[in-house]
């Protein structure tokens, strides 16, 4: 076990309570019995003895929240250094029981939970930390404090807490994307989106939420989530396209899929400039709209949309294969066998979920032509 030294800045932190943030800081006043005891523990070179002394310390000063939090936090760090993240997490939780709003403890707990690959705990700690950090500047300004000084203090605290916030944001994102169980993942996504509303991963989280609802076959949940997200971002072309694609997988919701696809296409038309990603999204939207028109029996209109999709999806093989397949199916319905064969041949040459269905339908069309 490494010989850990207590961080001096934590022990002798300024005695003035922070004014602009509702987080607890671990403050051990210099010269107090707790301070003297901690200095004695810090000077102990033997790791096992130091651990035993810390355990005695937290029992002796259990009535002092700062001392209990700091002592248990140091025990957590000791076990973390000894590659025992489970034990580290246990003592970290004891530290948080004494001081629930200590961001520095929540950061270390997030790290230990990552080591244990416990996505739920990672997200819980990270969300707690983000919520505390988000409280910066929310307490009212003290009446005797100048406005400029208060604003400066808020800015300084936000800047100081920024690395912690970013670390927990990334940790939570990685934990959620690594979670394989959809019913475990969905509550984590909801917590993330609430705690990190302006996250750099917001779009990815929204997309993952939609995919997760599909995995759970939760149409009601998908609809509620889609309505909520669109209320916040009614002109988000990516969100509209992903929702359209999700609804298109359920025949009962094809009308909704078509509505979202149309809205996405209109937004793309009015965009000042189109990036490759925008063109792909537009291609998916045209493909979905083509599928909805196909289901409605509007074959010429469906063919137009699907043909447009094939020109926009050249850099997205799976989406392109789907567009070619449904275009071939549409041509078959229109009794345009030659066009159907051409489209299905294109789809059949692309590896993926549409390859075999395309080849099967192609074989049927050729067999039917051979009998004529």
Residue 15: its pLDDT value, please? 30
Encode pLDDT of 179-222 as tens digits: 999 999 999 999 999 999 999 999 999 999 999 999 999 999 99
Low-confidence ranges of the chain (pLDDT < 50): 1-21
Residue 281: its pLDDT value, please? 93
Taking each helix axis from N to C end, the angle separating 65-81 and 103-115, rounded to the nearest 10 degrees, works out to 30
Residue 252: its pLDDT value, please? 85
Answer for the pair 88, 11: CB distance below 8 angstroms, yes or no.
Answer: no
CB neighbours of residue 25 within 10 Å: 16
Residue 24: its pLDDT value, please? 62
- Nearby residues of 130 by Cβ (< 8 Å), 6 or more positions away: 165, 168, 169, 195, 196
- Token digits for 343? 């489209």
How far is it, in rounded angstroms, from Cα 95 to Cα 25? 12
| Overall pTM surpassing 0.95 (yes/no) | no
Residue 151: its pLDDT value, please? 87
Encode pLDDT of 55-64 as tens digits: 999 999 999 9
Residue 208: its pLDDT value, please? 96
Residue 142: its pLDDT value, please? 83
Residue 304: its pLDDT value, please? 98
């Amino acid at each position: 076990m490494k010989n850990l030294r207590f961080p001096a800045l934590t022990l002798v932190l300024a005695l003035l309570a922070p004014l602009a943030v509702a987080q607890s800081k671990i403050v051990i006043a210099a010269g107090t019995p707790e301070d003297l005891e901690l200095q004695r523990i810090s000077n102990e070179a033997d790791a096992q003895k130091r651990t035993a002394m810390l355990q005695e310390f937290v029992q002796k000063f259990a009535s002092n929240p700062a001392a209990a939090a700091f002592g248990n936090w140091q025990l957590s760090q000791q076990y973390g250094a000894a590659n025992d993240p489970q034990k580290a997490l246990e003592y970290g939780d004891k530290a948080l029981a004494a001081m629930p709003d200590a961001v520095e403890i929540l950061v270390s707990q997030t790290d230990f939970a990552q080591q244990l690959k416990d996505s739920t705990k990672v997200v819980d700690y990270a969300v707690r930390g983000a919520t505390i950090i988000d409280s910066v500047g929310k307490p009212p300004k003290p009446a005797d404090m100048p406005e400029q000084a208060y604003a400066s203090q808020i800015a300084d605290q936000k800047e100081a807490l920024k690395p912690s916030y970013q670390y927990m944001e990334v940790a939570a994102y990685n934990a959620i994307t690594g979670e394989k169980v959809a019913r475990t993942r969905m509550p984590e996504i909801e917590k993330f989106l609430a705690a990190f509303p302006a996250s750099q991963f917001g779009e990815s989280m929204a997309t993952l939420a939609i995919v997760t609802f599909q995995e759970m076959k939760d149409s009601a949940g998908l609809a509620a989530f889609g309505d909520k997200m669109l209320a916040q971002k009614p002109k988000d072309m990516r969100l509209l396209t992903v929702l359209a694609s999700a609804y298109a997988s359920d025949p009962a919701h094809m009308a909704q899929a078509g509505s979202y696809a149309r809205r996405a296409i209109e937004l793309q038309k009015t965009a000042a400039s189109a990036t490759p990603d925008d063109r792909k999204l537009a291609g998916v939207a045209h493909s979905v709209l083509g599928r909805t028109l196909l289901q409605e029996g509007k074959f010429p209109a469906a063919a137009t949309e699907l043909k447009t999709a094939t020109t926009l999806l050249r850099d997205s093989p799976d989406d392109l294969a789907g567009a070619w397949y449904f275009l071939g199916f549409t041509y078959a319905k229109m009794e345009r066998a030659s066009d159907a064969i051409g489209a299905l041949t294109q789809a059949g040459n692309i590896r993926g979920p549409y390859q075999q269905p395309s080849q099967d339908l192609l074989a049927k069309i050729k067999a039917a032509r051979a009998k004529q």
